[in-house]
Structure 1
Amino acid sequence: MADVYHAGEHLVQARAGLLEQARSASRTIRGQIPGVAREFLEQQVTLVIGAADDRGRVWASLLTGPRGFIKVSGSAAIDVAALPSPGDPLHARLTAPAGAPFQVGMIAIEPATRRRMRMNGRARPAPGGFRVELDQVYSNCPKYLTKRHPVPAGQPVEPGPVTTAGHLSEAQRALISRADTFFVATADREGDADASHRGGNPGFVEVTSPTTLRWPDYRGNAMFCTLGNIEASPAAGLIFPDWQTGGCLQLTGVAATDWDPGHAAAVPGAERMVEFTVHHVVEITGASPLRWTGAEYSRFNPPASARERLLDAGYQA
Structure 2
Amino acid sequence: MAIATRSAAWHALLPSLVPAKPRIFFLRSRPGRFLSHAHGLRPCGAASSLPPGEYLPPLFSVAPMMDWTDNHYRTLARLISRHAWLYTEMVVAETIVHQKDKLDRFLAFPAEQHPIVLQIGGSNLDNLAKATELASGYAYDEINLNCGCPSGKVAGHGCFGARLMYDPEFVGDAMSAIAANCDVPVSVKCRIGVDDRDSYEELCTFVDKVVSKSPTRHFIIHARKALLSGLSPAENRKVPPLKYEYYYALLRDFPEVHFTLNGGLTTIEQVSASIRQGAHQVMVGRAAYNNPWNMLGHVDSEIYGMPTRCSSRRQV
Q: TM > 0.5 between the two?
A: no
Which structure features the higher share of strand residues?
A: 1
Q: TM-score, normalised by structure 1?
A: 0.28
Which TM-score applies when normalising by structure 2?
A: 0.28
- Structure with more helix by fraction: 2
